[in-house]
């Protein structure tokens, strides 16, 4: 009686040798490995770096090594975690500007920019899923989940590096539209309050005004004013987490609909329309404009995102403002 042959054993995992191209040059080796070894635990990535199993140009390197174009990287055999993260569904968003270097979209309210903290995926994962042939796609900066408006992504690493340098040097000009409660008085007001970032016992990221915190500066310009509300343009001079929200709340002018730092009683009232105004069911904070130097052409570019319909309807429902500055 013939016996069945043993099933073939799984082929042994082999080391990979990757030549670094222009798009991957300039980034740290640990960040590169974390990106390309999807499903591999972070602790394992750092273990193979410490052990010297990862080699660049046949030599040992540490986790701070920055890759250069033409580097030959040896990646040892690694097994992905048994339970891979759920894949993001592909999605596209309203495009405000796109060329070979940049993609600028109008992010809707309620959509996270990336996965994490209980969120499976965000804008960046969805865009990568919908553009599988894109060699490089990274967020230039972040927006809070409840903030809508201009969101910039880089399609080349050189563009990402250039734009980060512009942001560090104060070249970029980012403007937001926001609606606050209270009687705002000044046509133009500078708020400089140091901000401290911390995490609550529940794991929620929060920011407070605190001596010794990060230096932070926002300039607010009054656009329209009603008896209980004011429409402001916020100009970021620094780019701290929740900067606009905390600067306003700490100054006595909470953003309407802000569920972290806002006036919670007022927010509940605004959920329903009354005889004097319509309803507002979101945070009224919108990234409406960015001005920057194009990383390739060197020309100054300004990109605008229109105020979302739900915010525009709320403004119209308030009637004629007491004061219209511009």
How is the chain split into domains, by residue range?
Answer: 16-75, 94-154, 170-324
Residue linked to tokens 């080699």: 55
* Token pair recorded at residue 22: 């222009």
Query: Superfamily assignment of 170-324 in CATH?
Result: Pseudouridine synthase (3.30.2350.10)
How far apart are the C-alpha atoms of 9 and 125, rounded to whole Å? 35
Specify the length of the chain in residues. 326
**Contact between residue 216 and residue 243 where contact means Cβ atoms under 8 Å apart:** yes
pLDDT for the residue numbered 223: 97
Q: Say which CATH topology domain 16-75 has.
A: 3.10.290
Does the structure show a pLDDT above 90 at 7? no
How far apart are the C-alpha atoms of 285 and 148, rounded to whole Å? 7
Q: Where are the beta strands (DSSP E) in the chain?
A: 16-19, 55-56, 59-60, 72-75, 94-98, 102-107, 138-139, 148-154, 173-181, 188-192, 195-199, 205-209, 217-225, 229-236, 285-293, 300-304, 323-324
pLDDT for the residue numbered 80: 55
Paired strand residues for 167? none
**How confident is residue 14, by pLDDT bands cut at 50, 70 and 90?**
confident
Kindly report the pTM of this predicted structure: 0.78
Does the structure show a pLDDT above 50 at 9? no
Does residue 259 have an active-site annotation? no
Gap between the terminal Cα atoms of the chain? 94
* Token pair recorded at residue 205: 């990221």
State how beta strands 148-154 and 285-293 pair: parallel
**From 208-212, 257-261, 312-316, 321-325, the region with the lowest mean pLDDT:** 321-325
Match domain 94-154 to its CATH number in 3.30.70.580, 3.40.250.10, 3.40.190.10, 3.40.630.30.
3.30.70.580
**Contact between residue 96 and residue 62 where contact means Cβ atoms under 8 Å apart:** no
**How confident is residue 325, by pLDDT bands cut at 50, 70 and 90?**
low
94's CB contacts (< 8 A; 6+ apart) are 105, 106
How far apart are the C-alpha atoms of 116 and 175, rounded to whole Å? 27
Catalytic residue among 71, 144, 258, 263: 144
* Token pair recorded at residue 68: 């250069």
Torsions phi, psi for 265 (to 5 deg): -65, -45
How far apart are the C-alpha atoms of 127 and 293, rounded to whole Å? 24
Residue with the larger pLDDT of the pair 145 and 84: 145
How far apart are the C-alpha atoms of 139 and 96, rounded to whole Å? 15
* Average pLDDT, rounded, for the chain: 89
């Amino acid at each position: 009686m013939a016996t069945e042959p043993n099933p073939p054993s799984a082929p042994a995992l082999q080391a990979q040798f990757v030549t670094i191209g222009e798009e991957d040059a300039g980034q740290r080796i640990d960040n590169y490995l974390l990106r390309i070894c999807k499903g591999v635990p972070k602790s394992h990535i750092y273990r193979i770096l410490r052990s010297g199993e990862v080699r660049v140009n046949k030599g040992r390197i540490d986790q701070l090594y920055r890759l250069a174009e033409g580097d030959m990287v040896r990646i040892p055999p690694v097994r992905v975690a048994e339970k891979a993260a759920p894949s993001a569904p592909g999605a596209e968003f309203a495009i405000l500007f796109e060329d070979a270097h940049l993609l600028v979209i109008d992010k809707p309210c309620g959509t996270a920019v990336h996965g994490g903290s209980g969120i499976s995926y965000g804008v960046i994962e969805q865009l990568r899923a919908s553009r599988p042939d894109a060699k490089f796609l990274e967020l230039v900066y972040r927006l809070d989940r409840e903030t809508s408006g201009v969101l910039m992504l880089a399609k080349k690493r050189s563009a990402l590096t250039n734009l980060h340098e512009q942001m560090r040097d104060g070249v970029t000009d980012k403007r937001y539209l926001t609606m606050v409660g209270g009687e705002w008085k000044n046509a133009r007001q500078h708020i400089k309050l140091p901000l401290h970032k911390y995490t609550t016992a529940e794991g929620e990221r929060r920011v407070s005004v605190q001596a010794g915190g990060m230096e932070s500066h926002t300039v607010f310009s009054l656009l329209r004013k009603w008896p209980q509300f004011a429409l402001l343009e916020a100009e970021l001079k620094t780019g701290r987490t929740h900067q606009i929200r905390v600067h306003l709340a700490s100054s006595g002018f909470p953003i309407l609909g802000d569920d972290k730092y806002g006036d919670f009683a007022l927010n509940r009232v605004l959920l329903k329309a009354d005889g004097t105004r319509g309803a507002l069911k979101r945070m009224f904070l919108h990234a409406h404009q960015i001005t920057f130097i194009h990383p390739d052409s060197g020309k100054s570019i300004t990109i605008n995102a229109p105020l979302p319909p739900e915010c525009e309807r709320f403004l119209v429902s308030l009637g004629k403002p007491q004061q219209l500055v511009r």
